[in-house]
Amino acid sequence: VLTRRGLRFAEMLGVKEQLLSHTVPVYGRTMHDLNVQDEAEKAGVCIHFDRTLSLEDTSLEDRRLCFHDSAGGKHFVDLSLNTAVVGCDGAGSRLRHALSNAGVLTFTEEMIGHGYKEITFPALSTSDGSWGLGTAPLVKITMPSRE
Q: pTM for this structure?
A: 0.46
- For residue 103, pLDDT beyond 70: yes
> What is the Cα–Cα distance from 56 to 97, expressed in whole angstroms?
12
Confidence band (pLDDT; 50, 70, 90) for 74? very high
> What is the Cα–Cα distance from 69 to 65, expressed in whole angstroms?
13
> What is the Cα–Cα distance from 72 to 85, expressed in whole angstroms?
21
pLDDT, tens digit, 9 for 90 and up, residues 109-128: 777 666 655 555 555 566 66
DSSP per residue over 69-110, as a string?
Answer: ETTS-EEEEE--TT--------TT-HHHHHHHHTTS------
pLDDT, tens digit, 9 for 90 and up, residues 16-72: 998 888 887 766 655 566 677 888 889 888 888 888 888 888 887 788 889 999 999
> What is the Cα–Cα distance from 121 to 72, expressed in whole angstroms?
44
Domains in the chain: boundaries = 1-30, 35-113
